[in-house]
Amino acid sequence: MVVVYAGGNLEVALSSLFLNPITLAGGVQQIFVRFILFYTMGLGVGLALKAGLWNIGAQGQLLIGMVMVFVVYTFLAFLPWPVLYIAMILGAALGGLLWIAVPTILRVKFGANEIVVTILLNVVAINFAFFMLSGPIKSSGTALGFPHSIELPAQFKIPNIVGGTPITWAVPATIVLGIILYLVVERTPFRVKADTVGESHETAKYAGISIPRVMAITMLAAGALAGLAGATYLMGYRYELDIGSFSTNYGLVAIICALVGRKHMLGIGLASFFFAYMTIGAESMALSANVTTYVVFAMEGIMMLGILLGNYLTERRFLV
């Protein structure tokens, strides 16, 4: 729609939207890179949403996670390889967790709106990441151009499953993580607790559920997951951190995936795959139709509205 307006050819556009992601070189890799990113962050956003909390700051937590990978790498370099490897991944999760601890504490202790705080912290995270990038974790190699980190050495990259295929071990790991969360969250009384807190605080209080505890657990887990996404993104695909790594707001796409997946730990996975596929398709469509790739944002927004509209129509059929 948008692309046709912008002067593209409909046939070329459609074929690149649906076929290019799998036919073009690197397309499949890109799909899975995005899938991991959206799914890991989306799990967190969805978890918080179950308890009625909006984590608009997944992008900020992702950034802090990415920064933490390099902070651990730089300052704990004395650790032996496998320990450092794990420390980098855990450090990223811890970074995200600490970053969301601020809105969590303010929410639980002071009742401050988590939307407002996470939005504010997104801006702070960008500045903080920029600070770290131009100082403590800057690559000493090049002084010219925009600041960027060093590239991770090969032993810290997440290996591919089979040499030659573009899919890393991070893909099955993420899917396993999703299944574990499904078992822990959806198949235990925790789901009822979180849903009750999300629906009505009065009901939750009446049922004897500790509201602060549920809120804290879901929020902190959301932050840790977004931070973890930073580790898999850096160590499995990007390998170095520069300004380009935080120019796109993946946090918002994660929110869309969580909503489209109806906050279900496995549903979010399907939604993430769909959006990863569509994003890559839309990007290649924009390129082939000679439109700037930023058209993708508009398309994601329109898709989101379309899905919301679908929800509205199905609900209406049942209600009226």
The answer to whether 185 contacts other proteins (rule: CB under 8 A) is: no
Rounded CA gap, 252 and 256, in Å?
Answer: 6
Rounded CA gap, 169 and 151, in Å?
Answer: 20
Among 79, 106, 173, 266, binds other proteins (CB under 8 A): 106
Closest distance between other proteins and the C-beta of residue 48, in Å?
Answer: 12
Rounded CA gap, 309 and 259, in Å?
Answer: 13
Q: 165 or 203, CB closer to other proteins? A: 203
308 φ, ψ (degrees, to nearest 5): -60, -40
Q: 120 or 266, CB closer to other proteins? A: 120
The answer to whether 252 contacts other proteins (rule: CB under 8 A) is: yes
The answer to whether 145 contacts other proteins (rule: CB under 8 A) is: no
Scan residues 113-132 and list those touching other proteins (CB under 8 A): 113, 115-117, 119-124, 126-128, 130-131
Q: 183 or 308, CB closer to other proteins? A: 308
The answer to whether 140 contacts other proteins (rule: CB under 8 A) is: no
Q: 177 or 289, CB closer to other proteins? A: 289
Among 41, 67, 255, 257, binds other proteins (CB under 8 A): 255
Q: 143 or 162, CB closer to other proteins? A: 143
Among 197, 256, 271, 280, binds other proteins (CB under 8 A): 256
Closest distance between other proteins and the C-beta of residue 312, in Å?
Answer: 5
Rounded CA gap, 48 and 120, in Å?
Answer: 18
Among 30-38, 78-86, 265-273, 305-313, the segment contacting other proteins (CB under 8 A): 305-313
Residues forming contacts to other proteins in the complex (CB under 8 A) are 2, 6-7, 54, 56, 102, 106, 109-113, 115-117, 119-124, 126-128, 130-131, 134-135, 147, 247, 249, 252, 255-256, 259, 291-292, 294-302, 304-305, 308-309, 311-312
